[in-house]
Amino acid sequence: MQAQPLSQATLSFLPASISVPGYNRQALQAGIVHVGVGGFHRSHQAYYTDNYLNQTHDLRWGICGIGLREADRAIQQRLAAQDYLYSLLVKHPNGQSDVQVIGCMTDFLLAPDDPEAVIAQMAAKETKIVSLTITEGGYNFDPSTGEFDLTNPDVIHDIANPTKPRLIFGYLAAALQLRRTAGKAPFTIQSCDNVQHNGDVTRKMLVAYINAYDSEFARWVSESVSFPNAMVDRITPATTEGDISLAEELGVIDQWPVTCEPFHQWVIEDNFTQQRPEWELVGAQTVDDVTPYETMKIRLLNAGHTVLGVLGSLRGYSTIEEAVSDPLFARYLRAFMDNEVTPVLDAVPGIDLDEYKQTLITRFGNPNIKDSLARICSQSSAKVATFLVPTIQQNLISKGSTRLSSLVLAAWCWYSDSHTTQHGEALDVIDDLADTLQHAAKSSREAPLAFLSQQSIFGALAANRSFCEDYQSFLTKLFAGIKVEHLMASVLEIEVTPASMEATI
């Protein structure tokens, strides 16, 4: 059968192997407004919600997508052209992919086109939840102090222009103000980002933003809005042209499918201002305190990704799977998890950490998932601060090991300076702070601690003598041309023999 272009009208012509929404999409209400319709939202929260709708036909829980940036226009247009349907390609390690067409998106508003429509959608009475995937950097806090950055020019703009904001905080504040004035209950604000205590952080940032111009309203928000914390997990590589072709081979012409691994996990604190979908019917877990789950996930999985991403980029690998398939890298990752992360993690109810770590290595090694190191290293300026630095800080206090991490930071300095692999191939460096990082990294050739002295990323690490000794010695060696794999092997105290190792200097 010929592949069909995806739309509401063609759903019934898709091959039987593709699962399609079994609920009445026309009658869906948007109980959820979601800001940040990237791949991760579409493989995770929207996937759970689609499964929930298929199971319960509880049509209050459609999702209205919102894009805050001009850069979201491309995805908005493609989704609108296919009636907000998209296909999720779940890629199994054996090379097979399952296709599920997700139908829970009801609309997609682009904020730069009509900010007031976005505020009205959030304020609408059907909206029970405003959820967010705005990335680690979107929360606008200074990682070294944890405080909201009121000096950000966009924040200053938003306070002066409350009906035409640029950042999420201005939208949430304007919509909550409308509900408050109308005497309506507020919506729940649900963060789905990899930020520790993501709900608490969202509350703190929003309240600080509002407090800058209206302390009484800030108090109301703090007291009446709930911000459940959650741990979210599903590896979702960036969509490539190859994925669009794969979808077509499998029977559906989709302008922007999403690919992901089979594994998914969502642990949510059950603390919502209003009703919510019963996501636990489709695999989510509700708990009273999500802290141990999120700490485990961020510090093992996300930081583990950063370890492979930064070291693997210098080595010339281009995907996580390539990196973790090198025994030296797998061993380094495991040593990082065992020696530096596990000792400063609390026990996690119901989870065998040993098994969890082994599963991570298996997930990273899924040969059917091509998760690029460019994606993993993107916005490292925000990721390193939240994924890795807290582990190092805790080890410095408890006198634990930090050597494996110090090499990662030295390698990131090298990466930020050169924007190439150690073999001279150009790397695709995606970071809002790329210029600042590069400048600090270049200065490190003369002043070795210049990069590490960026307090908003590394806090006070540059003031710790023993940490700096390791870091500086690795950096000097990298600047001298010594290959990262040799340094990794020396930290692990193993002989440098694998075939992957080439000439040293």
Q: Is 299 in the site for ligand CS2 (CB under 6 A)?
A: no
Task: Give the helix ranges, DSSP H, for 140-167.
Answer: 153-160
Locate the DSSP E strands across 36-118. Answer: 63-67, 86-91, 97-102, 105-110
Q: What's the 3-state SS for 194-208?
A: CCCCHHHHHHHHHHH
Taking the C-alpha atoms of residue 9 and residue 7, their distance in angstroms, rounded to an integer, is: 5
Is residue 193 involved in binding ligand CS2 (CB under 6 A)? Answer: no
Scanning 230-238, 247-255, 398-406, 423-431 for contacts with ligand CS2 by CB under 6 A, the matching segment is: 230-238
Q: Which amino acid is at 311?
A: L
Residue 194 engages ligand CS2 in binding (rule: CB under 6 A): yes
Given 34, 91, 357, 383, the residue binding ligand CS2 (CB under 6 A): 383
Would you say 135 or 188 has its CB closer to ligand CS2? 135
The residues pairing with 90 across neighbouring beta strands, listed in sequence order, are 98, 260
Q: Which residue is nearest to ligand CS2 (CB)?
A: 305
Q: Is 233 among the residues that bind ligand CS2 (CB under 6 A)?
A: yes
- The least CB distance from residue 309 to ligand CS2, in Å, is 7
Provide, rounded to whole angstroms, the least separation between the CB of residue 486 and ligand CS2: 26
Site for ligand CS2 (CB under 6 A): which residue of 10, 198, 239, 302? 302
Strand ranges (DSSP E) for 36-96?
Answer: 63-67, 86-91
Determine contact, residues 288/40, Cβ cutoff 8 Å: no
> How many whole angstroms separate alpha carbon 368 and alpha carbon 362?
12
In contact, 250 and 99? CB cutoff 8 Å: yes
- Residue closer to ligand CS2 by CB (options 6, 388) is 388
Find the shortest distance in angstroms from Cβ 237 to ligand CS2: 8
Nearer to ligand CS2, 378 or 421 (CB): 378
Using the rule CB under 6 A, is 386 a contact of ligand CS2?
Answer: no
Is residue 347 exposed (0-12), middle (13-18) or buried (19+ Cβ within 10 Å)? exposed
Alpha-carbon span 273 to 227, nearest angstrom: 8
Indicate whether 235 belongs to the interface with ligand CS2 (CB under 6 A): yes
Single residue of 155, 373, 376, 408 touching ligand CS2 by CB under 6 A: 376
Question: Of the two residues 177 and 302, which places its CB atom closer to ligand CS2 in the complex?
Answer: 302
Comparison of 31 and 292: residue with beta carbon closer to ligand CS2: 292
In single-letter form, the type of residue at position 12 comes to S
**Shortest approach of ligand CS2 to residue 420 CB, angstroms?**
20
- Please count the CA atoms within 13 angstroms of the CA of 148 that sit on its side-chain side: 20
The span from the CA of 100 to the CA of 467, in Å, is 48
For residue 384, state whether it binds ligand CS2 (rule: CB under 6 A). Answer: no
Q: Using CB under 6 A as the criterion, which residues of the chain lie in contact with ligand CS2 when the complex forms?
A: 194, 233-235, 301-302, 305, 375-376, 383
